[in-house]
Structure 1
Amino acid sequence: MSTSRRERTQDACPGVLRTHPAADGALARLRLPGGRLAPRAARELAACARELGDGHLELTSRGNVQIRGLADGAAVALAGRARAVGLLPSDTHERIRNIVASPLSGRGPGGRDVRGLVAALDEGLRADPVLAALPGRVLFAVDDGSGDLEGIPADLALRAQPGGRTLVCVAGETLALRVPDMVAVPALLAAARAFVDRVAAGGPAASAWRVAELPDGRDQLLAAAAGVAATAGALVADDRPVTPGTSIPGMSTGRSKRPASPGARPGAHAQRDGRWALTALVPLGRLRADQLDLVAGIAERIEEPSVGGDQGTAGAGALVVTPWRSVVLLDLTAAQLADVRTRLAAAGLVVEEDSGWLGVTSCAGRPGCARALADVRRDATRVALAAGAGARRPALPVHWSGCGRRCGQPSGAVAEVVAQPDGYHVRAGSLASSAPFVVTWAPDAPVPVGAAGDGDREPGVVDWSALVDAVTEARELHRRETG
């Protein structure tokens, strides 16, 4: 997504205590630092979605969850229930706990266990009154060193290194600070405070919601982190410039050749302890309450591996929500894997690597958003099912937008399908040479899409064959032009 400065300076990111008024009711967003979700909390979220919302949970590109369709007063009940299961530990800092982390941390074949860093970062954010002023769009990332978070446009990031050291990274900076693990979180929090100070100072920086939107002064954030390291007596061992072509969290080029994260690829992934992780993609990020109940029930019966000789805890860390709109079940035995895969697939979750759902995202569209010109979820579903399974996967993800705002569009190269008054405009958005292909609404549609007074009538229809061809062409164009 673009990181250009915006005219509107008010931070409207929703939480639980401050919801967003949508066309289908209030929308509440709950933060899940590192994507970790205890089975008990998952079951409570499923119950809240059924009893207070529209029966679904939406997974966001930051590994958080949303509940839509809340009636008047339902958000108060949701907040109370979220507190009871540990999902709302702070009223003042609830919207700034945007932390993504490597989903297989401590289990994957590469990288280190960074769950302690995630917990320390979350605790540090909540403990600092100054940081309550952070915009709700600021994103933190904690990479276990495997590089699986490349492509995630983090503002401030930690990346584990060998030998008990961690890189501290600031979006837009070509310097990375290497510090001992014990200093990493304090250094990153110092950079976050420097961002708050830079915005509070006014001037052109006053409207920045993301670090990359600062017109200048990003180096001051890294200097603040270095100051904390120096005060702690930690030698800053590696503040050399990152060489061209090297990606670190928060500096995505959108062209990384590194294999996709296990959290982004449906299917089974081997853990280094001989167990298995299973990633289930949630179509369009819309998880039904009964699907979450199923996943929670499976996680409850998984025993987390023991640490230091202590007995493992059933379900304690077995479920992770990822920024790729998927859920990961960890620590499955080989005997459990086939059964769990079958049950998730039967429930409508994607566990096969060749699904037509791969790389498909969308905004809410009609009827949930008053600005939307089409029911993009319905149309994206029809096109994804038409793509089927087994085909060679296109190189480019595709995002469906109900209007020109392109809400929720992933960063980097993406094929765009944007609803406009005359039809869907389809193009390979990352290529300047790609002119939009317009699939117009059928002339016999009862009213133009988005026309005033159309009420509850169905929006205009398109030539489905032409739309499937246009989306496929846009996704393949990137492969042909970039090699």
Structure 2
Amino acid sequence: MAFGEQTGRSAREEARSAFMRRGACPTLVQPMRTGDGLLARLRPTGGIFSIRQFIQLAEAAQRHGNGTLEITARGSLQIRGLQGETVQPLAADLDAAGISVPAGPIIELSPLHGITPDEIGNPLEIEARLREKFAAELLSPLLAPKLSILIDGGDSYGLAAVTGDIRVTAVSRGVWRVAVNGDEQTALPLLTGSADAAVHAIGDLLHLLVSLGQHKRCRDIERRRLLAVFPSMEGVLATAPERKGPLVGTLALANGSAILGVRPRFGQLQAAELIAFLAAAEALGATQVRPSPGRIFFLAGLHSQSAASLTDIAAGYGLSADIDDAAAHIAACAGAGACASGQFQTKARAERLVAIAGELLDGSMVVHLSGCAKGCAHSRRTLSIVGTDEGYNLILDGVASDTPDAQFASGGINSAIEKLARFIKNERQAGESTAACLRRFGKDDVIKAMRQE
């Protein structure tokens, strides 16, 4: 497996050792044991695969795993069903395909960088400078395994809604804003300045995190310490414009080319279907695949007509290019059979939810189906249905680990969900969203309605 800027066997082994010491999230170096074998997570340099590389990755997942791939809420890829003896052959195949996965914390770039005409700054340039100048710091075993660094070029389809420890956003030509701990609206701004100033600021934050001790996050840094390093932070404007998140469907560009965004159903792909779809995409001119937050991946290099052709066939391969697809409003983890902690089959439950409870899936909230209280598929407050030893916990506005508002036996959950959907349909006012209706009635009345005979 290639590791970005690291070259030579000793540097590669050093990077691998760093990952092992940090107990990082599942990677090819240290995959995670799940109910269907080992799971490895990866993100390529710059967030870009060539179409041929993505086909080779799917073939390798089929050859060395169980053929199931997933795209996470943050746009990373997961390969499932690996075994101890197949991890290194998989890594060798990806290395042979020229897929480079840098060591250290994940650096997320706005998914359409270098393509969209309204991009303000080049995230790839910031990443390259950062990896060159602070390569040793990025490999520190003291950094938190889930430390996230976001670099957003300021285009319409960037990372505005994605939370991060450190976020760098282009705000005007040649000017970047560095902020910590949040999304574009909530993160605390520290400075604005040139690309060099932004890179130095990231380095200062890495040094500060290391000085605090092992596995600290930006939320652990006291304000007084931030002020000591960034004395002008109180004068930095915190306002940020509203921007769109990445969307499925066709984005036509002024030069006549087009980008197609597709979403795997509930974030999961079968390698055989993916390979066939990618072969069709390659034949129609697609040159790149870019995984994106929102469990989407983009195909670049198309024209409007070829994008339309791919849209027409996507559903036959378990993919959707429909912006109104109700399934997009469900966050489902791997579930029973794929995860040792899963208490129910989340994908089957998700399909059932689409069939019986469309009223819940109007886009005003996410319905989170979690096989256990860890809540891996969705970290924000929402309507959560959580598997337990006895059945299901229902949390109307919270995360999977919260105290449940109601509990249902396994045999009663379908009826409860149908009653909830019917309640929303009957009680929602004109123009009112599902989320607003639930807030208006409150938890007690909603739970009462779900328990009525």
Match of 2:97 among 75, 80, 85: 85
In 1: Cα distance, 2:316 partner to 2:39 partner: 29
Asked whether the 8 Å contact 1:417–1:426 carries over to 2, the reply is: yes
Which residue of 2 is the match for residue 273 of structure 1?
Answer: 255
Question: In structure 2, do the counterparts of structure 1 residues 465 and 356 end up closer, same or farther at CA, with 3 Å as the change threshold?
Answer: farther
Residue type of the partner of 2:275?
Answer: D
Match of 1:343 among 278, 288, 313: 313
The CA deviation at 1:221 is 5.5
Count of equivalent residues: 405
In the alignment, structure 1 residue 149 sits paired with structure 2 residue 159: yes
Percent identity, please. Answer: 25
Residue type of the partner of 2:353?
Answer: V
- Structure 1 segment 303-322 matched on structure 2, within 5 A: 315=287, 318-322=288-292
Which residue of 2 is the match for residue 26 of structure 1?
Answer: 38
In 2: Cα distance, 1:473 partner to 1:132 partner: 53
Which residue of 2 is the match for residue 399 of structure 1?
Answer: 368
Which residue of 2 is the match for residue 415 of structure 1?
Answer: 383
Which residue of 1 is the match for residue 396 of structure 2?
Answer: 428
Superposed CA deviations along residues 28-72 of structure 1, whole A, max 9, x for unmatched, are: 111234431222321221012111111111112232111111122
In 1: Cα distance, 2:267 partner to 2:79 partner: 12
Asked whether the 8 Å contact 2:126–2:195 carries over to 1, the reply is: no
Superposed CA deviations along residues 169-192 of structure 1, whole A, max 9, x for unmatched, are: 122663331111244334323322
Asked whether the 8 Å contact 2:152–2:159 carries over to 1, the reply is: yes
In 1: Cα distance, 2:360 partner to 2:100 partner: 43
Give me the CA root mean square deviation.
3.4
Asked whether the 8 Å contact 1:98–1:140 carries over to 2, the reply is: yes
SS in 2 for 1:176: strand
The CA deviation at 1:128 is 2.2
Which residue of 2 is the match for residue 104 of structure 1?
Answer: 112
The CA deviation at 1:142 is 1.4
Asked whether the 8 Å contact 1:144–1:160 carries over to 2, the reply is: yes
Asked whether the 8 Å contact 1:415–1:474 carries over to 2, the reply is: no
Which residue of 2 is the match for residue 159 of structure 1?
Answer: 169
Gaps of 5+ in 1: 1-8, 200-205, 228-235, 249-257, 304-313, 443-461
Question: In structure 2, do the counterparts of structure 1 residues 138 and 353 end up closer, same or farther at CA, with 3 Å as the change threshold?
Answer: same
Which residue of 2 is the match for residue 293 of structure 1?
Answer: 275
Question: In structure 2, do the counterparts of structure 1 residues 189 and 468 end up closer, same or farther at CA, with 3 Å as the change threshold?
Answer: farther
Asked whether the 8 Å contact 2:260–2:298 carries over to 1, the reply is: yes
Instruction: Identify, as 1 or 2, the structure richer in helix.
Output: 2
Gaps of 5+ in 2: 1-20, 426-432, 441-453
Asked whether the 8 Å contact 1:425–1:437 carries over to 2, the reply is: yes
Which residue of 1 is the match for residue 145 of structure 2?
Answer: 136
In the alignment, structure 1 residue 441 sits paired with structure 2 residue 380: no
Question: In structure 2, do the counterparts of structure 1 residues 391 and 361 end up closer, same or farther at CA, with 3 Å as the change threshold?
Answer: closer
Instruction: Identify, as 1 or 2, the structure richer in strand.
Output: 2
In 2: Cα distance, 1:196 partner to 1:430 partner: 32
SS in 2 for 1:429: strand
Q: TM-score, normalised by structure 2?
A: 0.78
Asked whether the 8 Å contact 2:263–2:297 carries over to 1, the reply is: yes
In the alignment, structure 1 residue 480 sits paired with structure 2 residue 425: no
Superposed CA deviations along residues 340-374 of structure 1, whole A, max 9, x for unmatched, are: 11121221201112212122112221112222211
SS in 2 for 1:344: helix
Q: Which moved more, 1:157-166 or 1:102-111?
A: 102-111
The CA deviation at 1:25 is 1.0
In 1: Cα distance, 2:395 partner to 2:153 partner: 35
Residue type of the partner of 1:86?
Answer: G
Which residue of 1 is the match for residue 48 of structure 2?
Answer: 36
